[in-house]
Structure 1
Amino acid sequence: MHAVILAGGKGTRLMPYTTCVPKPLVPIGDQYSILEIVLHQLSHYGFRSVTLAIGHMGQLIRAFVGDGSRWDLSVNYLQESTPLGTIGPLLGALDSLPEHFLVMNGDVLTDLNYAKVLRQHQASGAPVTVATYAREVRSEFGVLDVEEGEITHFREKPVFDFTVSMGIYGFSKSTLELYPAGQPFGFDDLVLDLLARNQHPANFHFSGYWLDIGRPDDYDRANAEFVSQMPQLLPGLDSAVTDKTQAASNAALYSN
């Protein structure tokens, strides 16, 4: 099983934490970076190869991860010279990818079993499978319905339910071969085009632990919850092996 991790963004929403390090390397719980947790999880769930799509401060990610052998993974790199969106970086590298593979953002903290997403995708025949999560958004205001100058309904601080993408996808190479390489192309562009052609993506609903660490509030929550969530986020953890891996990772980073 192969995974592509999108780690090329500038992380501007997470400033000032991302001033000196790329977002996938910000520490969680003062022990592990987000990317380190993700690589541990992928290895635990049976993935053996990873492509890291890097751009902004990509040299730090290369120094930290290396060839991936510390996680029993084979890691190669896809360097972005200009931002190409979520899907754009993949379009020029399809020859190096298997027919079915996982794609995920490099700033996701979850206890999702990634292998289940990819296996469901392989079995479904869908053009793409999207891992989804139910979220509630609470309005800070009373909401009014107005028709022809009159208020017809009033709701005090209502709660709206949404299904959102987790930033984790199962892809088939044959789906992406339809699109030209070398130009910006986002996940939103892909989904809108698939829907317009009546090719519906499949849904993989998840109700466990998930945080998209895009804002300082999310990052603070991740740090506050890490100790309680650590057994789920780092399955099969061997503290002695992990301490050794942590020391090797830090040495690689700071020697560069």
Structure 2
Amino acid sequence: MQAIILAGGKGRRLLPYTTVLPKPLMPIGDYSILEVILRQLKHYGFGRVTISTGYLHELIHAYLNSNKSLGLELSYSHEDSPLGTIGPLRLLEKLDDTFLVMNGDILTDINYRNLIESHKKKKAVATVATYQRDVNIDFGVLEKGADQKIVAFKEKPTFHFDVSMGVYVFSKKILDYVPDGEPFGFDQLMYTLTGEKAAVYSYPHTGYWLDIGRPDDYARSIEEFERYKDRFLP
């Protein structure tokens, strides 16, 4: 199985840490975020992994070249200018009929093999791993009808949303929707696919997921990686 890890971003939300390190190389415990992901992919049967790089790419190359015990066939794809989340796929020459794409800055215990199998079973063009996020409203919420008439009231409700985890499975047909040589984000891809009523499915994950986007997220990732290490390194 093939995976592409998106590791080209500048990680502005994690400044000042990312002044000297690309976000995927930030350490959690005895590992970098990137190494945790690579070990997980190896565990779930992936053999080929492409690292899509940009910012401080030479550090990622040096890190992985000095750590060749992972048992994976690694390759690199470099962006000279930012191409968004999905645009870098156009730079890849060899793609399997089905492949995984994921951000290089997340901590999760998702079963990647089951995700791939779900995608194939549904004959999907794209499958998006999702996680439920709850949003608490600290005020009474009014629902209004015609002429501003109040028709319902909820006191401090909680709303539930399914959010993208930054983990996707694509069929090679996805390239038909991706422009060549220009930035193209996940949001643009979703607008295009849903607009054309393509076979796009979600894969709900009820385990652990953390987007390591801000300094407080990073501090949390260090603490929880040590607490639940067996879940992240099966």
TM-score, normalising length: structure 2: 0.92
Alignment partners' CA distance in 2, 1:145 and 1:157:
10
Q: Is the 8 A contact 2:177 2:192 kept in 1?
A: no
| CA distance in structure 1 between the partners assigned to 2:172 and 2:162 by the alignment | 26
Q: 1:144 to 1:152 in 2, by over 3 A?
A: farther
1:205 maps onto 2:223 in alignment: no
Q: CA RMSD in A?
A: 1.8
Q: In the alignment, is the contact (CA less than 8 A) between 2:8 and 2:55 conserved in 1?
A: yes
Aligned residues: 232
- In structure 2, the residue matched to 1:21 is 21
Residue identity matched to 1:125: K
**Equivalent runs, 1:137-156 vs 2, <5 Å:** 137-139=135-137, 141-145=138-142, 147=144, 148=147, 154-156=153-155
1:172 Cα deviation (Å)?
Answer: 0.9
Write the distance in 2 (CA, Å) between the matches of 1:160 and 1:179. 33
Contact persistence 1:144–1:152 (CA under 8 A) = no
Structure 2: state its 5+ residue gaps.
Answer: none
Matched position secondary structure for 2:36: helix
**Identical aligned residues as a percent:** 50
CA positional deviation for 1:210: 0.8
Do the aligned residues in 1 keep the contact of 2:139 with 2:155 (CA within 8 Å)?
Answer: yes
Cα deviation for residue 122 of structure 1 reads 2.2
SS in structure 2 of the partner of residue 18 of structure 1:
helix
- Residue by residue, what CA displacement relative to the aligned partner does 1:164-218 show, whole Å, maximum 9, x if unpaired? 1111111111121343210011111111111111114112111011111111221
TM-score by length of 1: 0.85
In the TM superposition, what are the counterparts of 1:1-256 in structure 2 within 5 Å?
Answer: 1-29=1-29, 31-66=30-65, 69-93=68-92, 95-139=93-137, 141-145=138-142, 147=144, 148=147, 154-235=153-234
Matched residue of 2:41: which SS?
Answer: helix
- 1:151 deviates by 6.3
Q: Deviations over 1:23-77 (max 9, x none)?
A: 1011113x21110100111111111110000001111111111287321001110
User: Given the superposition, is the C-alpha separation of residues 146 and 131 from structure 1 closer, same or farther in structure 2, using an over 3 Å criterion?
Assistant: closer
Letter in 1 for 2:79: E
1:143 is displaced (CA, Å) by 3.8
Supply the AA of the counterpart residue of 2:10. Answer: K
Structure 1 residue 155: deviation in Å? 3.9
For 1:85-105, what per-residue CA distance to the aligned partner results, in whole angstroms no more than 9, with x for missing partners?
Answer: 111000232x31111100000
Inter-partner Cα distance in structure 2 for 1:68 and 1:128: 32
